[in-house]
Amino acid sequence: MRISDFSLPVLPARLLQLREEATKGLDPAAADDVLALLLALARMRSPSSILEIGTAEGLTAAALLVTCPEARLVSIENDPDRHVRAEQNLAGFGVSDRAELLFGDAAEILPRLRETFGLIFLDGPKAQYIRYLPVLKKLLAPRGVLVADDVLLYGWVRGQVQPPPKRRSIAERLREYLDAVLSDPDFLTFVAEAGEGVAVSVLR
Ligand SMILES: C[S@@+](CC[C@H](N)C(=O)[O-])C[C@H]1O[C@@H](n2cnc3c(N)ncnc32)[C@H](O)[C@@H]1O
């Protein structure tokens, strides 16, 4: 018998179905084990506010809001169709009143945010993580948790697999992100082998 490595809380059947459909897309929702890790951290931290970079269709946002009934969530997406679908999905799960979906480029929106967040899920453009890091650090509440998805990306970042030439700079930028969070004395960071690699950085 194979014992699973994680469990997911009870999520609406429609959300599970949409997640399954999204795995066939270009920018899928977070992998099951990444979502389980993120929801476990959210339960542990009980953040009053959550920030997500890269809403896509709002499926991880919905899972976070269903799992944390007291939390508010701000999420940023620059693809207009996904932004609209996310609005529809969150309305369908009855959590729109606790969500603020912002449409536009995260690099422009992040510096304009004025509140702090107990949990940040960084899941937008991978090459930009290192650029976002200084502003994300300022947006974290004391002892806030920054969760960055896809930081090992197909083995490219640790050099186990050679990235295609066009992807080399993404791998390089992700390596810079990992170096930055791992060497920053303000963070306690753990890189988990969930999905394509998840860096969990807790502000001291
Ligand atoms: C991996 S998907 C996010 C999945 C989502 N977090 C989830 O788990 O359901 C990445 C998303 O980031 C969006 N994105 C890419 N560049 C962006 C940018 N500069 N600003 C905001 N969003 C961006 C993409 O359009 C895409 O929908």
- What confidence tens digit (pLDDT) does each residue in 42-60 have? 999 999 999 999 999 999 9
Distances (CA, A) of 136 to 62, 88, 100, 182, 202: 22, 27, 17, 15, 12
Q: 29: Cβ below 6 Å to ligand 1?
A: yes
Per cent of the chain over pLDDT 90 is: 85
Nearest residue (by CA) to ligand 1, atom 1, is 27
Which pTM does this prediction carry? 0.96
Nearest residue (by CA) to ligand 1, atom 11, is 54
Contact of 93 with 66, CB cutoff 8 Å? yes
- pLDDT-derived band at 9 (thresholds 50, 70, 90) equals confident
Nearest residue (by CA) to ligand 1, atom 18, is 105
- What confidence tens digit (pLDDT) does each residue in 86-107 have? 999 999 999 999 999 999 999 9
What does the pLDDT average to over 38-45? 95
The tokens describing 1, both together, are 């018998």
Contact of 147 with 129, CB cutoff 8 Å? no
- What confidence tens digit (pLDDT) does each residue in 128-145 have? 999 999 999 999 999 999
Nearest residue (by CA) to ligand 1, atom 22, is 77
Instruction: Kindly give the number of the ligand 1 atom that is closest to the alpha carbon of 35.
Output: 8
What's the confidence (pLDDT) of residue 10?
Answer: 81
Whether the per-residue pLDDT at 1 is higher than 80: the answer is no
Sequence spans of domains, the chain: 13-203
Whether the per-residue pLDDT at 72 is higher than 70: the answer is yes
CATH fold of 13-203 reads Rossmann fold (3.40.50)
Going from the Cα of 53 to the center of ligand 1, the distance in angstroms, rounded, reads 6
Contact of 188 with 201, CB cutoff 8 Å? yes
Give the CA count within 13 Å in the CB-facing half-sphere of 33.
11
3-state DSSP assignment of residue 30? coil
Q: 198: Cβ below 6 Å to ligand 1?
A: no
The beta-carbon contacts of 151-155 under 8 Å, at least 24 apart in sequence, are: 151/177, 151/178, 151/191, 151/196, 151/197, 151/198, 151/199, 152/191, 152/193, 152/196, 152/197, 153/126, 153/196, 153/197, 154/196
